[in-house]
A and B are shown apart, each in its own frame.
Chain A
Amino acid sequence: TQLLEQSPQFLSIQEGENLTVYCNSSSVFSSLQWYRQEPGEGPVLLVTVVTGGEVKKLKRLTFQFGDARKDSSLHITAAQTGDTGLYLCAGVVDSWGKLQFGAGTQVVVTP
């Protein structure tokens, strides 16, 4: 099993602050995805990163895939209360699209 470790487990910040969450593995992934899950809902895909060293931006969210394709980070600039949620990284482990999820980082943004 290709394990993904996410850190920190929990992050509480005030609106306007920046934050970074990490996703690390000892295994190489062909691609890695980031999802956000809100209470009572299923995860929603934010981004897929494919190429080592790739950086993708989605408004205030910046995603980076490590050069060796073993790790990734998510940086949120000027967090808003709407950014509150469980952030999950998931590695694609086979050609059928099977995902291995990390345990997630719970982010709470307070006004």
Chain B
Amino acid sequence: EAGVAQSPRYKIIEKRQSVAFWCNPISGHATLYWYQQILGQGPKLLIQFQNNGVVDDSQLPKDRFSAERLKGVDSTLKIQPAKLEDSAVYLCASSLGPGGNYEQYFGPGTRLTVT
């Protein structure tokens, strides 16, 4: 079974530039999550999709971050414009969805450096 795929693995941009991350979840997984993990901290949920609908985006900085999952499969997270404090690893995860054991499967992440 293929795991969660993310690209790119690394990205370096200057502040005020824009960047986009892509995620392809495990086939059949209805729920998709984007997390931000700052060095020395645990992952923080940015947005959670159930199929192509948003379940929770309460911690997404909506003035600069956006995400979509148009066909209920893969997803894109965008930052525009980036700030220095956005430097972090962005993790995508997927799960079967409600009614399961809530096990989340994570991709390898994208390490973003904003200079």
Contacts and interface: CB of A to CB of B under 8 A. Distances in A.
Q: Do A and B share a complex? A: yes
Interface of A: 4, 31, 33, 40-45, 48, 88, 90, 92, 95-99, 101-104
Nearest to A88: B42
Contacts of B45: 98-99
Interface of B: 4, 31, 40-45, 48, 50, 55-56, 91, 93, 95, 97-98, 100-109
B111 to A, nearest CB: 8
A96 B50 contact: yes
Contact of B98 (A31, A48, A96, A101): A96
Name A's interface SS.
loop
17 contacts: A33-B103, A40-B109, A41-B106, A41-B109, A42-B93, A42-B106, A42-B108, A43-B91, A43-B106, A44-B106, A48-B102, A96-B55, A96-B98, A98-B45, A101-B44, A103-B42, A104-B41
A34 B109 CA distance: 19
Contacts of A99: 45, 102, 104
A45 B45 CA distance: 17
Contact of B41 (A31, A33, A90, A103): A103
A99 B94 CA distance: 12
A98 B102 CA distance: 8
A38 B55 CA distance: 29
Contacts of A31: 102
Contacts of B56: 96, 98
B22 to A, nearest CB: 15
B102 A33 contact: yes
A97 B102 contact: yes
Contacts of B55: 96, 98
A96 B107 contact: no
Contacts of B104: 45, 97, 99
Given A98-B48, A102-B42, A103-B41, A42 B102 contact: no
A30 to B, nearest CB: 9
Nearest to B100: A97
A95 B108 CA distance: 26
